[in-house]
Each structure stands twice: as structure tokens, then as C-alpha cells.
Structure 1
Amino acid sequence: MEPAAPAPSSPSSPSQPSPPPANATAPAPDAPPSRRAWTVVALLLAFMVVNFMDKTVLGLAGDHIREDLGLTDTQFGTVGSAFFLLFSVAGVAVGFLSDRIGAARLLTVLVAVWSASQLVVAVPAAGLAVLVATRITLGAAEGPAFAMANHTAFSWFPDRERALPGTLLTVGGAVGVAVGAPVLAVTIGGLGWRAAFALTGVLGVLWLFAWRAWGGEGPYSARAETAEPEPGVPYRTLFTRGTVLSGLACAFAAFWMLAVAVTWLPQFLQRVHGIELEKASMLAAGTQVVGIAFMLALGYASTRMLRGGRSSRAARGVVGGAAVAVSGCGVLALTRVGGGAPLVLVMMVAFTAGNAFFGLFQAALAELAPLRQRAALLGTVTAAASSAGAFGPLLTGALVDAAGTAAAGFQHAFDLAGGLMVAGGLLAAAFVRPARDRASLQSSRIT
């Protein structure tokens, strides 16, 4: 029997998705997810695709932007880091707002803001100041995106079924690179870098129409809850659990590498290995295809482990932490293997395996948190982890500027990122224990 879903929009107002009915009740834990649930996941996956195309376009257009606007490496790194100036602040704020306003409505606002930010850059007169300002607003709108997408998706699934939807949303980022990078590279080469920004803005607007027609929250959301609300716990107690702190350290390290790769990887391939932009974009796309398969396999394996009675520590903490540590080893090898096939193989490890952690960690946090505090926990922890993006691209640019050669500068930057990932992955594998930490919260419940 399928779980009860929110009533679809009436034909007379297709742009207004209905919230969960006031008397909705959560389906039985063993009930299979509904067709509507997977429709929402598909929309949220597309949401993440556009999200990562927005991020990727700056790195792909980097050489064109630097030449057109006359920027140094440090200035360009500043533009990359500007994206993260309000990223974390917005993530926290929106996380606490979502249960009052509703994640579905907030997603609409976020996409509207980030689409407008991209479209403004497409104006020919827009210079460095506009680029920096719009990267800040883009970051403010995209900061809460991943956590809110997961929170919305989880509202359609019981706990043990959440690993796969969470992994699919992480895959959306890889698809954004795998599909978006070649498309954006061709657009930049044929129509100019501003046209690529315009394309991503238009895609965001199109997504808005689809979401307003078919999106919404499901029967496992706090807004659909009708029974006695689950007691909460003091936020200080919730945020200091081992699962939260160790997972945050791991996610911070993984996000550091993600931000550096999005901003600088195309230029590393071009300047150190002499690979042309379109080839670099295809190489990045190819590694992400491998990453998609890897992330789906880990998400499926995690779900099977939970269904088979394995602990969430093993299925989420150990699996996810090990993936980040392995990626870190790949990053450390990135500047030591030369070019050609060895470089491609190392990239397939460095920029793919660790991404699986994000979805598994979101599911672990959702398992730990009381329902009414889930959005706040997801938003705050994701925001704290993503603060790595405010430092990684800027520090990478400074290291490249300060080194004698671009190759030496990138080696220093990638060594730092790889070391952080290995350490973070080991911490997560050891201390992400959602079931134990959730049990430890029982004595701290408040009504």
C-alpha cells in the first residue's frame, strides 16, 4: 500500500502545489515509497543539477573572465570565495525557518534568487564588482540548497529508505558537472562566457515552473505530523553529539576539496597539463560519470545494509568516512602521477568517491534529530561544513600566486586538501554513530 501523499494541485491552479493535509498521518514504516515521492526526488535531482551548473560555470570560464576583466589569480580566487561569504549564514537561517515557512516554498525562493544572480552577470556592462556581488547573492541562495533538498526528500521516506534518495541528490551535483561542463564549455567557446551564465539562469527559471506544478512536502514532514509532537532536545546537546562533530569535520574537508575543484580544476588541467578547455571539461565530465555509478552503488549498498540489520554506524559512518579518506589519498596523488591515463584514473578517485559521504551523512543526521529539529540540524551542519568554501578557493589562488610555478602552487593546495580529507574520513568512520547518539539524547528531551 502506498503512503498517503499530499493532494495534487487542482487543474485550475497548477502553479500552486498543495501542502500536506492537516490530518495527514505518516505511512507504515514498511510501506513502499509512492510514485509521487520519486517524482519529487527527480525534481530535486534536477534542482541539484542546476545548482552545480551554477557553481561550475565560474571555473570553466575562469581564463576568459580573468583575461576579459584583467584579474590576477588572487583576485579570481576572491571571486570564487565570495560565493561562500553568506553561504553558511543563509544555510543556518533557512534551516531554522523551514519548519515554519515550509521547505517547498523556500526552495522556490532560493531558485528565484540564484537564477536572477546568474542572469545579471550576462549583462555586457557587468564588471568585477557585479561578478563579486552576484556570487555573494548566488551563494546566499545556494547555501541552504542541499540541506533543504534532502529535508524535503526525506519527508517522503521512512528512515531506513533515505540513503538512496540522499545519494541521488548528491548524484545530482555530479550530473551537473558531467552534463553541464561540456555544454557550458561549448557555450563559452561559441557564444562567450556571459552566455553560459545566461543559460544557467534560464534553466533555473524553467525548474521553477516544474516545481510549482509538481513539487511539495510529503507525509514524513513535521508539517504533516498530527500525533503528539516528538519532544525536542536543547540545541547545544544536539550539536555536540559525536556523530555531528566528526561528520562535520569530514564534510568540511570534503567540501573544501569540492570548492577548490569547482573553482580551480579546469585551470589546473589547462595550465599544468596544457589541456584545452573543451578537453578539460570532457575529462571532468568523464570522471563524474564514474562518480555517479560509484555514489549510486554506495547508496544502494548502505540501504541494503540497513535492511539486512546492519547498524547505521556501519552503513553510514564507516562507508561514508572510508570513501572520503580514499578520495583524499587520490587528491594527494593528483600532482604526482604525471599526465595521461594515470592522471585520469587518479581523478576518478579524487573527485568522486568522497562525494558519496554527503548523502549518507544527511541521512545519519536525519536519523539522529527529533523531527521538528531536523531541518535546523541539517541546515546548520551543512552550512558549517560548506564554510570551507570561503577559504579553499582563496587560499588556493594565494598558493598559486606565491609559488614559483603553477604546478608547485597547485601541489601545495591539493596536498592540503588531501590531508584534510584523510583525517576527516577517519574521524567519521570512527565516530559517526547515529543510533547510539540518538539514544543518548533521551534524557535531554524537552517538550
Structure 2
Amino acid sequence: MHEQITEVASNDPARTSPRRTKVRWLIAGLLGVGLIIAFIDRANLSVAMPTIGKEFGIGPWMQSVLLGAWAWTYAVFQLPAGWIADKLGPRTAYAAAVVWWSACTAAVALVRGVGTLFGLRLLLGIGEAPVMPSSAKAVSEWFPKRERAIASGIYGAGSEAGAAIAVPLVSLIIVAVGWRGAFVATGALGFVWAAAWLWIYRSPSEQRWTSQAEVDHIATNGGDEAESEPQERSLPWAHLFRHGTIWGMFFGYICRNFLNYFFITWYPTYLVQEQGFSTMDMAKYGAIPGLVAILGNFAGGWFSDHLVRRGTPLSLARKIPILIGTLGSGTVAFAVFAPDAATALVLLSVSFASASFASAAIFSLPIDVAPGPGNVSSIFAIQNTGSQIGGLLSPIVIGFLWAATGSFVVPLVAMGVLCLAGAAVYAFVVKVEPLPSEAEPTVTAG
């Protein structure tokens, strides 16, 4: 499955124990915390923007550009970041990325104008580019097929948790020490995580806390030798783009992530402008959709793996939660009819939780369709490039529509339509099976 490491000393108590250890779940938890920090550092500007906008005299259009700036470089650097993660492995690639973006986050405390802030947000996007490809690579190394969706759900929940935590956390820090101190505090989190990651993360056969039983469990796909991972037979990087499934994953994620990035860019402004929230109101209630979405992430991952364990074909076990989630997320459009803030929050929570219900299965797709382990991060990077194109377009389009119409009615309806379009792409274009390893693939829908 992956490179084999020299035999561990027989006196290692963890390795010789007959018990199956659960270190892989610690790895999933670390990945989740890493994503929480990444999303806090993406969303902190949206929370601070009302204050920064007043201080620097930034209008709505420039605010939308600043809020989405990190996604520009994040999208551009996805493909090279995926290639680097495949070559260097998740331990090195992820740690270096966190140190980079944490330094950029803390440096925002020093800005004195729009230009410097814009530059630092572009650098933030470069630093965060390896996050998702590295996470997918780590899951492919540490989890058998029948546990990958819930493992992906655990780390994927970090996106919703980070977006949810950022609103009250950054709001409270701003109240206590100002917006500059908030960026220093959130930037410091990443340095602590990077140190823990470098100390703990190794491949399963190198990690001294794992028992041989756990290593075997991973290598044999949960004890089923018939489903053990194929040996390395990766496609050349450029050949990946010859497959319809890859393009389906790319375009499907553009549609889906348009909604998600609303919650880490314009959502606080929506609460203030459309629902009349104060900063303290955001600290009290703003995290509700994100917290509900965390549960959706876990539920979707558990459900997909449950279907696999029951013998459901892998294609259906992934597509069913994806379709339930992407169709359900379209309820965001009904928020335009909400008679009050409470109802709007309920509808937004249902929408965000539905999108998250699909996340774990979507995150598992690159592992499921990769012809060999050497393509996992690269395929995830292609998929995530679509995600970030959606993330790039979302704040700009929503900001334009809001400025043009004076309300969030049209943006919310547009997000609902895109959610339905994403469901159609996943249903009819994406085929959940390993890509052919031959050099003559054909572009087909499935």
C-alpha cells in the first residue's frame, strides 16, 4: 500500500501488543484541528472587516475583493501543492504550510493600509494550498476503505468548526484587545499545531504507538485481504485530465463550495445588514449554523461508511450521501422568505448541515478514484481547485449582487440554484471507481 519501513524492534510494547491500537483516529483528530485553524485564519478577516472597513475607509466592492483574495492564490497553487504533497508526504508538506500561513496571519496586525492587507491575504492562500491534499494523503495512508468517509468527516468537520468558532472567538478577542490582537492570537495557534504534528505524525509502520494489529488492519482494508489496496500504478499527472470523473469532481465542487464560502465571507455581514445583528449578537448566535454543520459532517461520514460495511457498492455508498447533502443544501434559497432572524438561522443551519453531510463522501472520492497512492493528493488538488474557484467567485458575485440589489435575496437564490446544479453533476458525471491505469483513457460520464 505504501512504502514499507524496516522492522520495528521487538521490544517495542506497542508493536508487540496483540491489541489493535487506535492511533489512526488521533491522526484524524489532528487533521481536524489543523483544518479548524485554517478556517479560523480564513474567516477572521470577515469578522474583523466591519471594524477594519471603517478604520481604513474600505467600501463594499473592495471589501469583497479582500475577503476573497486568499482564495485566488489558494486556487492557483492547488495543483502544485497536490504534486508536492504526493512527493514530500503529508508530514513535511502540512507542517511547512501551517508555519507559512500562521506567520502571514499574525503579520496582519502590522498592516497600515489596503495594499499590505491584500498582499498578506494572497500569501495566506499560498500557505493554505497544501492543507486538503495533505489531509487526503494522510487518510489514504492511515485508514482502510471502510473507514475513510468517517475519517474524512472528522477532519472535514474542521472546516465548519473553524468557520463557526471564528465568529464568536474573533469577535470576543476584538472586543478584548482589538482587531490587530485578534490576528496575532489566531496566527499563534498554527505554530502550536505544527509542532504537535511534526512530533506525532509518521506513516503507520513508523509510528511507534501503533500496534502491528493496527498496521495490518490498515494494510488489509479492515482485515479483508480481497479488498487490499492495489500496488502503485499511478497515472502521469497530465493524464488525469483525460477522465470525465475528474472534471465532474472539479465542476461539482465549484457549485457546492459557492455556498460554503458564503459562510466564511459574507455571512457575518448578512447577519449585521439583513438581520440587524450586533457584534455581540454574532458572538452569541452566529456560530449556530456552523455547529449544526459539524454534526452533518460526522453523520454523512458515518452513513457512507455504514453503507460500505453493509455491502452497498462503493459508488452508491458515496453518491447517496452526496446527493442527499447537495440537494438539501438548496434550502438556503428559502431563507429569503424567513419572517425573522431565528427562522433565517434555522434555514441556513439546515442548508449548511446538508452541504456538510456530503463533505465526507466528497473528500473520499480522490482516494476512491485514484489508480494508485501516488495520485491521491494530485486528484484531491484538482477537485479542490474547483472548490477554490467557487470560493473565489462566491464573495465577489455575492458582493456584486448585494451591492446591485441592496439585499441578499438574489445571492441566496443563486446559491440554491448552484447547489442543485452540483447535485446533477455528481449524479450523472462522476463515476466512483479507480481510474484506468492505461494511457488510453476515455472521457465518459457515469
Contact 1:77 1:394 in 2 (8 A): yes
- Normalised to the residue count of structure 1, the TM-score between the two structures is 0.85
**Which sits farther off after the overlay, 230-239 or 76-85?**
230-239
2:222 corresponds in structure 1 to: none
**Which sits farther off after the overlay, 334-343 or 364-373?**
334-343
Cα distance in 2 for partners of 1:228, 1:158 equals 12
Q: CA deviation at 1:240?
A: 4.1
- Aligned pairs for 1:54-203 within 5 A: 54-123=41-110, 125-203=111-189
- Aligned pairs for 1:44-443 within 5 A: 44-123=31-110, 125-218=111-204, 229-235=231-237, 237-328=239-330, 330-369=331-370, 370-403=372-405, 405=406, 407=407, 410-435=408-433, 438=434, 441=436, 443=438
Determine helix, strand or coil for the equivalent of 2:246: helix
Aligned-residue identity in percent: 22
Letter in 2 for 1:157: F
Contact 1:325 1:421 in 2 (8 A): yes
Structure 1 residues 34 and 344: alpha-carbon distance in aligned structure 2, compared to 1, 3 A threshold: same
Q: CA deviation at 1:361?
A: 1.5
Structure 1 residues 413 and 278: alpha-carbon distance in aligned structure 2, compared to 1, 3 A threshold: same
Contact 2:85 2:130 in 1 (8 A): no
Structure 1 residues 213 and 23: alpha-carbon distance in aligned structure 2, compared to 1, 3 A threshold: same
Structure 1 residues 178 and 390: alpha-carbon distance in aligned structure 2, compared to 1, 3 A threshold: closer
Q: CA deviation at 1:300?
A: 0.7
Letter in 1 for 2:426: A
Structure 1 residues 150 and 392: alpha-carbon distance in aligned structure 2, compared to 1, 3 A threshold: same
**Which sits farther off after the overlay, 332-341 or 202-211?**
332-341
Cα distance in 1 for partners of 2:425, 2:7 equals 42
Cα distance in 2 for partners of 1:190, 1:321 equals 43
Q: CA RMSD in A?
A: 2.6
Q: CA deviation at 1:432?
A: 3.1
Cα distance in 1 for partners of 2:401, 2:6 equals 55
Contact 2:106 2:184 in 1 (8 A): yes
- In the alignment of these two chains, the number of paired residues is 410
Q: CA deviation at 1:73?
A: 0.4
Cα distance in 1 for partners of 2:157, 2:20 equals 20
Contact 1:306 1:312 in 2 (8 A): yes
Determine helix, strand or coil for the equivalent of 2:266: helix
Deviations 1:163-222 (A, max 9, x none): 0110111111122133332121111122211121111101011111111211233359xx
Q: CA deviation at 1:443?
A: 4.6
Q: CA deviation at 1:442?
A: 5.0
Structure 1 residues 321 and 234: alpha-carbon distance in aligned structure 2, compared to 1, 3 A threshold: farther
Cα distance in 2 for partners of 1:143, 1:358 equals 18
Letter in 2 for 1:417: M
Letter in 2 for 1:310: T
Deviations 1:276-298 (A, max 9, x none): 12222433312222212222111
Q: CA deviation at 1:380?
A: 2.1
Contact 1:147 1:375 in 2 (8 A): yes
**Which sits farther off after the overlay, 50-59 or 355-364?**
355-364
Deviations 1:323-367 (A, max 9, x none): 012102x22112221323321210111222112333212212211
Letter in 1 for 2:5: P
**Which sits farther off after the overlay, 302-311 or 338-347?**
338-347
Structure 1 residues 45 and 444: alpha-carbon distance in aligned structure 2, compared to 1, 3 A threshold: same
Contact 2:89 2:137 in 1 (8 A): no
Letter in 2 for 1:60: V
**Residue ranges of structure 1 left out of the alignment (5+ in a row):** 6-18, 25-30
Structure 1 residues 20 and 263: alpha-carbon distance in aligned structure 2, compared to 1, 3 A threshold: farther
Determine helix, strand or coil for the equivalent of 2:27: helix
